[in-house]
Each structure stands twice: as structure tokens, then as C-alpha cells.
Amino acid sequence: MLNAVILYSVGSPQNLTTACLKDFLNRFLSDKLVVKMPRFLWQPILHSLILPTRPERLKERYGAIFDHEINPYLALCERLATALQANLNKPSTNSGSADQYVVKMSYAYCAPYLEPTLYELAAQGCQRITVIALFPQYSDTTSKRPRLILERFAQERPDLECHMVSSYASNPIYLDALSDLTRSFLYGTGAQMSEAEPQPTNQSPASTSASAPPVASAVAAPERTHLLLTFHSLPKSYIRLGDPYLSEVAATVQGLKTRLNLSEASFSLAYNGRFGPMAWLKPDLEDEVTRLLEQGVQHLMVVAPGFAVDCLETLYDINLKLKERFIHQGGERFTYIPCLNDSQLHVNVLTELCLKAPKLPAH
């Protein structure tokens, strides 16, 4: 049987032209699940105040992370899909069955989009289609739309078997992989990347969990070293409307805390990516960094468990600008722990998610 796996993510501008940046931003900020303000109020603001100016400001930020005119986020996603396809087709993975897998990327706000990708794969003879939303912590703003698209497709094609992974915030395999990656930096085996420029082609270091002592002592000694977990923020009003994102974040944080044996004083949580005048989840990332500096933290280690692949917010906002801010304000050392990216750790996680993905209920 021919199986299709679609890795779904936000997407990113494919080049640095103003037209491309404007189109991506327009698609993103026109999504009703992302911006829940009434359309008659929001669209004039978007088209008169944001789209005429913000693409030019984004050009500088994206330009700082593009590698020879290639968006590292998109390149990482494609390499991840290629690696996952190879792993799924190994005899050791599929137990020697005749099943074959094809893996594709699709994005919310740039091509290739999910809906046409579904129909293309069906036309190629795929009988089982699995969509994995590359957002470990579920939010209506990110993971609801691909599910709606897949459900609509499944109704039109009842002859196909459709599966969906909408969340894996508390999945043990994901938490184990994330802990192994983080632990490797806490104990220095990832140090070859920690002081370098952003690493869009990261291959995660091997796990050191077998012989490592409790991480609480490693992070807390010296006490001026601190592990900061950061997730993308969300307006508080979305949580009040029922978005489960906050509980999803809590599940991941608790899983990491347990696996890394973190003491309460050795780590903290903050949110990044605030946009606009609304009240967002607290504490804000920059405010938390200021607080930690005031408490005497000199070595800040930052990990972003909400991102599956390094993107603008991690490569630029965290590993460039936040690092610059921390050092400028008196910090001595800043270590950014990269995302799972196209590492074997990540491939193993996605392989397990794919093989155990729940089937969409029949309608």
C-alpha cells in the first residue's frame, strides 16, 4: 500500500522581495484563526497600516538569517521530509511489509499548500494519508486549520484512510528527544554549536542520558547559569475563548522538568512573539531576561520547545537579537539550544507519530 505523510507547518517567505514578504504576511494576518478581530475592523488596519510598512522591516530580519538567498527554515523542512521518507521506507521500520511511504511538506501561508497536496497524493494512488501538524503544543491558531482541511477532504474521498496528528505536547517520545537534545547542551556535548552563529542545518548531538548525573545540579552549579524555556505567545483572550494552548505548554514543561530533573530555581518559562496592543501570555521573553539579569544570571541557556524547526523567531529573535541584548546588559554567556530540526532524533519522533497517528472519525 502506498502511504502519504504530509508535514504541515506555517511556512515562510521563499525570497526577500517585498512582494513575497507582503504576500506571506497578508495570508498570515488574514487568517481568521490567527487574528480574531472582526474583519470590518481588522482588514483596514492590515491594509493601511501594516502591509505598507512591515514587509520592509521584515526584509532586514529575514536577510540576517538567509543563507545565499535560501530560507534556512524551508531548507530544513525539506531535508526533514526527505529524511523521514527514507526512515519510513527502511525494512526495519515497516517490518518488511510491502508498504511504501512518500513524505511531503505543506504550509499554511506559502506553497505548497495542504489542500492541493492532498489531492495530488490521492491522484498518485496513495491509499492512506497522514497529516502531522509540526506544532507540538496544540492551538486553534496553528493546528485547527489543517484538521478542518483534512476532514473536508476525507468527506469527499471516503475511499481513502485519513489520519491526523494535531498535538504531541505530552508524547513520551517527543519529550525524550527534546530532553536528550537539551541535556547534551547542558553537559557540553553540544558546545560546538552553542557559541556559534545560528545553525540552520543542525544535526542534534547524541543522547547523554545513560551516564549523566541529575541536571538540577548541572544547571544550578554555578547558580548564575539558568535554563529558559520559551514558547510562542498567544493573546490571553484566546485562552479565555477555550484554546487549550496553555495546558499544552504546561504538559511539555512538566515533561522536561521531570526528565531533566530540574529544580524550580534552575529554570523558568517565558513567551515570545507578542504582536499588537492586546494582552498576551506572560511573562514576556525580554522581561524575563531582564529579571534574570537582575538576579545575577550570567550564563543563559535558551530552548524553544514549541518550535519543531528553527525559524525567524529562533534564528533571529532569540539567537541574534536576544543574545545581543543579554550580553549588552551585562550577561557573560548566551547559549541557544537549537530545535530538533532535521536530526535523527526528530526523524525518530515523527516516525513514531506517523505509525501511531489516530484515524479521523467517520462522518
Rounded to whole angstroms, how far apart are CA atoms 169 and 305?
A: 9
Band (213; pLDDT cuts 50, 70, 90)? very low
Rounded to whole angstroms, how far apart are CA atoms 348 and 363?
A: 32
Mean of all residue pLDDT scores within the chain = 90
Q: Tell me the pLDDT tens digit for each residue of 30-87.
A: 999 999 999 999 999 999 999 999 999 999 999 999 999 999 999 999 999 999 999 9
pLDDT at 195: 33
For β-strands 128-133 and 225-232, DSSP reports them as: unpaired
pLDDT at 274: 87
**Residue type for position 268:** S
Which 8-state DSSP code applies to residue 150?
H
pLDDT at 326 over 60: yes
Band (194; pLDDT cuts 50, 70, 90)? very low
Cα–Cα distances in angstroms (integers) from residue 328 to residues 46, 117, 200, 270, 324, in the given order:
34, 46, 25, 20, 6
pLDDT at 262 over 50: yes
The answer, as to whether pTM is greater than 0.85, is yes
Q: Is 168 helix (H, G, I), strand (E, B) or coil?
A: coil
**3 pairs with which residues across the strands?**
101, 128
Of all helices (H) and strands (E), which one includes residue 276? none
Helix 18-29 and helix 54-63: axis angle, to 10°? Answer: 110
Rounded to whole angstroms, how far apart are CA atoms 301 and 317?
A: 15
Rounded to whole angstroms, how far apart are CA atoms 80 and 72?
A: 12
Rounded to whole angstroms, how far apart are CA atoms 105 and 190?
A: 28
Q: Is 340 helix (H, G, I), strand (E, B) or coil?
A: coil
pLDDT at 92: 78
Within 10 angstroms of residue 237's Cβ, the number of other Cβ atoms is 12
Q: Give me the numbers of helices (H) and strands (E) for the chain, helices first please.
A: 16, 8
pLDDT at 221 over 80: no
Band (202; pLDDT cuts 50, 70, 90)? very low
Rounded to whole angstroms, how far apart are CA atoms 15 and 233?
A: 26
pLDDT at 216: 39
pLDDT at 227: 97
pLDDT at 196 over 90: no
Rounded to whole angstroms, how far apart are CA atoms 122 and 238?
A: 35
Mean pLDDT in residue range 196-220: 36
Rounded to whole angstroms, how far apart are CA atoms 21 and 205?
A: 34
C-alpha cell at 280: 498576551
pLDDT at 207: 34
pLDDT at 192: 33
Band (363; pLDDT cuts 50, 70, 90)? low
Mean pLDDT in residue range 229-250: 97
For β-strands 128-133 and 161-165, DSSP reports them as: parallel
DSSP string, 124-158: TT-SEEEEEES-SS--TTTTHHHHHHHHHHHHH-T
C-alpha cell at 45: 488596519
Q: Tell me the pLDDT tens digit for each residue of 118-168.
A: 999 999 999 999 999 999 999 999 999 999 999 999 999 999 999 999 999
**Residue type for position 134:** L
C-alpha cell at 227: 535554563
- Across the beta sheet with 100-107, the strand order is 100-107, 2-9, 128-133, 161-165
Task: Output 77 or 362, whichever has higher pLDDT.
Answer: 77
Q: What percent of the chain has pLDDT over 90?
A: 84
Mean pLDDT in residue range 307-323: 97
Mean pLDDT in residue range 205-227: 47
Burial 11-37 (b: 16+ CB within 10 A, else e): bbbbebeeebbbbbbbbbbbeebbbbe
Mean pLDDT in residue range 173-202: 67
Of all helices (H) and strands (E), which one includes residue 70? none
Within 10 angstroms of residue 276's Cβ, the number of other Cβ atoms is 11
Cis status, amide bond into 222, omega within 30 of 0: yes
356: left (phi over 0), alpha (psi -120 to 50) or beta: alpha
Q: Please, which residues have CB within 8 angstroms of residue 225's CB and are 6 or more apart in sequence?
A: 219, 297, 298, 299, 300, 301
Band (224; pLDDT cuts 50, 70, 90)? confident
pLDDT at 95: 67
pLDDT at 117: 98
pLDDT at 91 over 70: yes
